[in-house]
């Protein structure tokens, strides 16, 4: 009985805490200007306002996005990859070896020379065979060229669609040309149906990216992508709740405009269309610097940091929250822009166009030519048959000819 009472009082206290937090979160002074209440933002006289509960729809929509992604990757990306000459190459698996597998998983996948010598003694193998085993095992962890192409094709499809839709939605809006119009009549700005669907699609897309972080291609700027996706979702959700929809749509189109150029360049890079991918990457670089290094800080941030003071004598707390998140995004722009500049430097000053491989042939994004974000596939210097012919079949390291042919098929 006493335990039940404790649990009951615990539930009451938790309900009180949640109610208090909810009241603090929706505190009017946090979101909307002075002399304005949430009651004023109820639909009336044909004016429709964004409603926070509408954001719940983005979660099921994210799963719809995943279904669309599956269809695009399977029925568009794969046939397109085959048409461009990209093959789904099956990698050679290393020989089963419990000692090396355990070391690979628990210690390191790049053992030093002395470590390989110790492992060779344990397995009664040659150092060369141990080195080759680790190369093949590392290769199994890397995505195939077809897998990279599928992911790039999906992102290209979304960014191209969202950019096109965003331009169609915004080209006839006055705030698309005059940033001052973003704040005219705020917060009593009616929500347009185009703005509703634009927001739902963008938030759902970033939710889907978060859901697939564990299965998508791993890169060394993984945490930068996590921060970017979270900041994007939080920023769009908060701007929706505070009816900062006009400025939100401008932020979205500025971000999407450059991305489909990058994804298209990746696709041609994987297909080894060197000149095409180089040209597309240069176009991406130009668009990236115009939209994210020039327009975003000097147009968007100017409209959010400077102009609100002309329309309200009292700055609300949301002003600092939104601009803090926008500044985080700008920091990421500068982070990625630095690596884009490094690539362009090699384009312009090292005459990369004359080399047999594209300037960023080993690059999956906004980084160095050899792509510090992801490992390159390593080649085998000898086949299992050649190695074991030299060293004999010792303690299970050797394979009969039938096994070797099957491994290399």
Per the domain annotation, does 267 fall within a domain? Answer: yes
Q: Whole-angstrom Cα distance, residue 371 to residue 348?
A: 18
Are 172 and 182 members of one domain? yes
- What string of DSSP letters covers 333-346? HHHHHHHHHHHHHH
Per the domain annotation, does 19 fall within a domain? Answer: no
pLDDT band for position 399 (50/70/90)? very low
Q: What is the pLDDT of residues 108-139, one digit of tens each?
A: 878 888 888 888 888 888 888 888 888 888 88
* 347-353 mean pLDDT: 59
Q: What is the pLDDT of residues 136-176, one digit of tens each?
A: 888 887 888 899 999 999 999 999 999 999 999 999 999 99
Are 104 and 194 members of one domain? no
Three-class DSSP category at 257: helix
Among 178, 191, 159, 355, CA closest to 262? 159
Per the domain annotation, does 177 fall within a domain? Answer: yes
Residue 299 token pair: 């147009």
Residue 342's domain spans which residues? Answer: 26-83+143-350
Are 261 and 122 members of one domain? no
Per the domain annotation, does 396 fall within a domain? Answer: no
Compute how many other C-beta atoms are within 10 angstroms of the C-beta atom of residue 255: 22
Per the domain annotation, does 3 fall within a domain? Answer: no
Are 225 and 133 members of one domain? no
Per the domain annotation, does 17 fall within a domain? Answer: no
Are 181 and 149 members of one domain? yes
Q: Give the distance from CA 244 to its chain's centroid.
A: 24
| Residue that is last in its domain, among 308, 331, 350 | 350
Are 227 and 165 members of one domain? yes
Q: What is the pLDDT of residues 274-316, one digit of tens each?
A: 889 889 999 999 999 999 999 999 999 999 988 887 776 677 8
Are 115 and 148 members of one domain? no
CATH number for the domain spanning 114: value is 1.10.10.60
pTM of the model: 0.77
Are 298 and 226 members of one domain? yes
Are 116 and 229 members of one domain? no
| Residue that is last in its domain, among 327, 350, 373 | 350
Domain count, the chain: 2
Are 111 and 180 members of one domain? no
Are 126 and 259 members of one domain? no
- What lies within 8 Å, CB to CB, of 287 at 6+ separation is 257, 258, 261
Q: Whole-angstrom Cα distance, residue 359 to residue 265?
A: 11
Per the domain annotation, does 226 fall within a domain? Answer: yes
Per the domain annotation, does 264 fall within a domain? Answer: yes
Are 183 and 111 members of one domain? no
């Amino acid at each position: 009985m006493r335990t039940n009472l404790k649990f009951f009082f615990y539930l009451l206290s938790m309900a009180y805490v949640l109610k208090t937090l909810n009241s603090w979160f929706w505190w009017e002074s946090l979101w909307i200007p002075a002399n304005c209440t949430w009651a004023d933002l109820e639909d009336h006289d044909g004016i429709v306002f964004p409603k926070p509960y509408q954001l719940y729809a983005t979660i099921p929509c994210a799963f719809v996005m995943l279904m669309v992604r599956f269809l695009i990757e399977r029925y568009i990306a794969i046939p397109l990859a085959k048409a461009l000459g990209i093959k789904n190459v099956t990698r050679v698996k290393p020989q089963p070896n419990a000692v090396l597998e355990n070391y690979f998983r628990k210690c390191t996948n790049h053992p030093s020379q002395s470590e390989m010598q110790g492992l060779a003694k344990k397995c009664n193998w040659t150092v060369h065979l141990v080195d080759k085993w680790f190369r093949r095992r590392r290769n199994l962890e890397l995505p195939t060229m077809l897998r990279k192409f599928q992911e790039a094709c999906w992102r290209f499809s979304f960014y191209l669609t969202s950019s096109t839709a965003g331009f169609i939605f915004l080209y006839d809006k006055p705030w698309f040309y005059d940033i001052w119009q973003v704040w005219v009549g705020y917060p009593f700005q009616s929500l347009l149906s185009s703005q509703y669907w634009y927001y739902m699609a963008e938030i759902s897309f970033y939710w889907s990216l978060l859901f697939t972080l564990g299965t998508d291609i791993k890169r060394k700027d993984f945490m930068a992508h996590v921060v970017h996706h979270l900041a994007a979702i939080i920023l769009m959700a908060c701007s929706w709740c505070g009816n900062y929809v006009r400025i939100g749509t401008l932020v979205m189109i500025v971000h999407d405009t450059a991305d489909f150029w990058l994804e298209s360049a990746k696709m041609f890079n994987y297909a080894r269309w060197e000149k095409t991918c180089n040209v597309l990457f240069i176009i991406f670089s130009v668009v990236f610097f115009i939209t994210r290094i020039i327009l975003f800080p000097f147009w968007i941030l100017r409209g959010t940091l400077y102009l609100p003071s002309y329309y309200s004598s009292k700055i609300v707390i949301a002003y600092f929250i939104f601009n803090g998140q926008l500044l985080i995004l700008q920091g990421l722009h500068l982070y990625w822009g630095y690596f884009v500049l490094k690539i362009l430097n090699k384009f312009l000053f090292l005459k990369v166009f004359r080399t047999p491989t594209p300037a960023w042939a080993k690059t999956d994004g906004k980084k160095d030519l050899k792509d510090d974000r992801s490992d390159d596939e390593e080649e085998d210097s000898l086949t299992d048959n050649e190695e074991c012919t030299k060293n004999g079949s010792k303690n299970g390291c050797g394979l009969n000819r039938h096994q070797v042919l099957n491994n290399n098929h």
